[in-house]
Structure 1
């Protein structure tokens, strides 16, 4: 299955889909040394985003979150790709400067994506694909 969206950050990557219905702040929300979500009360607190295709509605918090995403990338602890409902500047900038493929505005909602499945994000084409 291929779902169209809008490409935000160029490139293509695959990984296990990790879906959250809650926004996330990378600053104080994700440990840049381990790639584990540490935001208190977040539904995915304690889970690793390393190598995943991380889908969440949008980012929140400080613009320093972009640099945390860059640190995750430098530490090889970043997600393979990102899917947002609506990209906002913090996450879009972080994805672009970190080389993390990113899409938003999918034809389907995040809840319709196959959480846990192997998916491919193509930021050039603005698509998300998986075997149905």
Structure 2
């Protein structure tokens, strides 16, 4: 999405559904999917929602951000440090985040994000488009 998402009041931590009815992802389930948003939005309680998503098994498979988001990243760090559970978080920067618009499928591997035009293309590394290889921030699960 091209719009930041508030996790506090924007995502149901027990189902992974985007419940912000004004957000373009409204009704989508983030569980086990790569979530690409420019940033979080709003309250610092977004950290606790991210933590709950991870602990409840409803977190995204990875979080791709345009810019560093301390609030969402904090929730991931707490889950990792206190509970040994985590998800990859990659801050891509403006150009790489914009390149995601061309990808319908992505693969996150460490600090590398590959984009693919289709699910079939994702099975062939030769068809990968490198979206980012040296992001400004990477947390690997």
Same fold (TM over 0.5): yes
Higher-Rg structure is 2
TM-score when normalising by structure 2: 0.70
TM-score when normalising by structure 1: 0.75
Counterpart for residue 116 of structure 1: 104
Q: Does the 8 A contact of 1:59 with 1:87 survive in 2?
A: no
Q: Can you give the 5+ residue segments of structure 1 that lack an aligned partner in the other structure?
A: 1-19
Which digits, 9 at most, give the CA deviation of each residue in 1:3-33, with x for residues without a partner?
xxxxxxxxxxxxxxxxx11100110000011
RMSD: 1.8
**Shift in Å, 1:89:** 1.0
Q: Can you give the 5+ residue segments of structure 2 that lack an aligned partner in the other structure?
A: 80-85, 116-121, 128-141
Aligned length: 110
Matches within 5 A, 1:70-81: 70-81=51-62
- From the two aligned structures, give the one with the greater strand fraction: 1
Q: Does the 8 A contact of 1:102 with 1:122 survive in 2?
A: no
- From the two aligned structures, give the one with the greater helix fraction: 2
User: Of the two structures, which has the highest relative contact order with CA contacts closer than 8 Å and spacing of 6 or more?
Assistant: 1
